[in-house]
Amino acid sequence: MIESVKQGKFLVVTIPDDWKHYTIEGIFKDYWKVPKKMIHEWRMGKAVTVNDQKIPWTSLLKPGDRLAVPVFEDTDDLVAATDLQISILYEDEHLLIVNKPPGMDTHPNSAGQADTLMNGVAHYLLSTEQPTMAKHIHRLDKDTSGAVLFAKNRLSGVMLDKMLEERKIHRTYLAIVHGLLSKAKGTINEKIGRDRHHPTRRRVSPTGQTAITHFRVLERDPKKKLTIVKCSLESGRTHQIRVHFSHIGHPLAGDVLYGGKAVFPRQALHAYKISFIHPVTEEPIECIAPFLDSVPIFPDFPLP
């Protein structure tokens, strides 16, 4: 664990033993892998200190040194604040994990839209007297529920973006599909691209982007001819789980866009778990997102 504390606009990090061969610049460039533009801003701003002193960035750091970096800066409100009574799963100075209900967009898609998860996050931050900088690191479809990760400052934002790109943020889903899957587990490795005949639909395409979905059967319902599966992704393509299961002949229950029957008021897809190593403190983070449907879709069994 990396010891750190917020002091005003500064993140103050206590240098651990295994950082003793790094310089200030080395921490930013090689360890945190901060973008050049942000490093340049910090250098020109001349606010970075070690033990409250401004020292050359080429200086080697010693265990116990206190490195102060101005990461908690005020930003303009990007979206309107709306009280949506959002459910917080985890929060610290750097990030926020929110349980998105079904029927809610992750972010505004048009000017003036104020009923999205981002609007609810903006209200929460404002009501708790925090800077209202919030950046969603990934998104969920409107009718998919579950955990969504937000960054609360620019440093955590760029670090989490890189972690997502490098597949270091693990998201696990529950889905109910039509039919009885014969395999207990499997992998769907099919590229996904846009459907030229529909503005929002995606399809399996040899010219699309690589998309890999792993699944494991949790329960089969022979009477209703439905199967509950746990899914994990090696990629994060739009509608990936929905497209993949439709492609193998088992569309998600309730997902009429991809051939499912309207047996539920929405597609039966829930992002129930997110796990990763915290980008700043390096602590393991794991959150389980309870179901929020007013009309239950998933059976009442312990989340795997």
Tokens in use for 114?
Answer: 């104020």
Average pLDDT of the residues in 278-289 = 97
pLDDT score of 78 more than 90: no
Average pLDDT of the residues in 282-304 = 87
Task: Give the predicted TM-score (pTM) of the model.
Answer: 0.93
CA–CA dist 241, 26 (Å, integer):
40
Tokens in use for 300?
Answer: 């009442």
Tokens in use for 270?
Answer: 């829930």
β-strands 95-100, 269-277 pairing: unpaired
Contact by Cβ (8 Å): 242, 232: no
Q: Is 225 left (phi over 0), alpha (psi -120 to 50) or beta?
A: left
- 105, 141, 143, 255: the catalytic one is 141
Which one is predicted more confidently, 197 or 217?
217
Tell me what pLDDT residue 73 has. 78
Tell me what pLDDT residue 139 has. 93
Of the candidates 275, 239, 235, 236, the one whose C-alpha atom is nearest the C-alpha of residue 97 is 275
Which one is predicted more confidently, 255 or 296?
255
Q: Where are the domains of the chain?
A: 4-70, 87-169+276-283, 172-270
Name which of 75-89, 195-209, 290-304 the model is least confident about.
290-304
Tell me what pLDDT residue 180 has. 97
Average pLDDT of the residues in 246-254 = 97
Tell me what pLDDT residue 196 has. 87
User: DSSP H helical segments within 143-197, as ranges?
Assistant: 154-165
What tens digit of pLDDT does each residue of 139-165 get?
A: 999 999 999 999 999 999 999 999 999
Tell me what pLDDT residue 77 has. 63
- Give buried/exposed letters for 12-36 (b at 16+ CB in 10 A, else e): bbebeeebeebbbbbbbbeebebee
Of the candidates 134, 29, 43, 32, the one whose C-alpha atom is nearest the C-alpha of residue 81 is 134
Would the CATH topology of 4-70 be identical to that of 87-169+276-283? no
Torsion of CA 155, 160, 161, 164, to 10 degrees: 170
Contact by Cβ (8 Å): 34, 28: yes
State in words which class domain 87-169+276-283 has.
alpha beta
pLDDT score of 209 more than 90: yes
CATH 3.30.2350.10 for domain 172-270, yes or no, is yes
Tell me what pLDDT residue 197 has. 85
What tens digit of pLDDT does each residue of 254-278 get?
A: 999 999 999 999 999 999 999 999 9
CA–CA dist 30, 252 (Å, integer):
43
Known catalytic residue: 141? Answer: yes
Contact by Cβ (8 Å): 252, 175: yes
Contact by Cβ (8 Å): 284, 277: yes
Fold topology of 4-70: 3.10.290
Name which of 63-67, 127-131, 281-285 the model is least confident about.
127-131
